[in-house]
Amino acid sequence: MKQGKLITTHNVAAANACIAELQTRPKLEMVGLGLIYGAPGLGKTTFAQRSAYRHKYIYLRLESTTTTKTFAQALLRAVHRHAGLGDVPTSGTANGLFKRAIELLTAHSDAIIIIDEIDYAFKRPDLLGAIRDIVDETIAIVILVGMENAKERLLQINRYYFDRCSQFYQFTPATLPDLTALAQAVMEVHPAEDVIAYIHRLTDGNLRQAVNVMDAIEKDARARKLSAISMADLEDRPA
């Protein structure tokens, strides 16, 4: 299978539209904060990582062990690279590191920062507050990426923070046209329409599962030296 493709599924198109809305917002009146959320396996992280690579956004991923200081260090390094300044020492206090990052973001106002796995920050008010300060003190755009209940949790935790978000988008299961576009882009064995429909039914639009099924079908087709595969071929597989 071909690697590294970012297919313009309905989710990708809608998420890109959210970012575009934030880019054209009245910057002195509205902060640039958005939230993308949804169930696992629908392509949120793939969208975040590949969009960041393609468009030169800053991509940061939180972990269970992320602290305010490690976040500040990662942010400063990422902003430094984004500004074309290479590596930077990240010693000092969390507050000092964060202030340096804010200064750079103020000077490079075109920055778009995607913060994945934002759910890890929901139990860390100091970390959530640090992220809020980015949009309060700069005109950078910050896109939070979280799980399917992220919107409700953000509202429960901090209404003031929630009200800052002007763009929300919930990833939903892939459609049949989505999987058709994906299969055509990544599979090196041509799947018939009935095969794609079968994958859609089998996976209920879970993109991660669909890719796994496509990979298995492609490997089977290659083993049988097929350049295209139909449902009849699948049903004719050896037991």
pLDDT band at residue 156 using 50, 70 and 90 as cut-offs: confident
pLDDT digits (tens, 9 = 90+) for 102-123: 999 998 778 999 999 999 999 8
Report the pLDDT averaged over residues 26-49: 94
Classify residue 52 by its DSSP letter: H
pLDDT reading at 237 higher than 80: no
The tokens of 193 are what? 């329409």
Per-residue pLDDT, 164: 84
Task: Give the chain's mean pLDDT.
Answer: 92
Q: Is 129 left (phi over 0), alpha (psi -120 to 50) or beta?
A: alpha
The CA-based angle 72-113-136, given to 5 degrees, is 70
pLDDT digits (tens, 9 = 90+) for 159-205: 778 888 889 999 999 999 999 999 999 999 999 999 999 999 999 99
Per-residue pLDDT, 58: 96
Per-residue pLDDT, 59: 97
Candidate from 27-41, 147-161, 185-199 with smallest mean pLDDT: 147-161
State residue 185 phi and psi, 5-degree precision.
Answer: -85, -35
Beta strands in the chain (DSSP E): 32-38, 58-61, 112-116, 141-146, 167-171, 190-191, 228-229
Per-residue pLDDT, 238: 61
pLDDT reading at 97 higher than 60: yes
pLDDT band at residue 157 using 50, 70 and 90 as cut-offs: confident
In single-letter form, the type of residue at position 143 comes to I
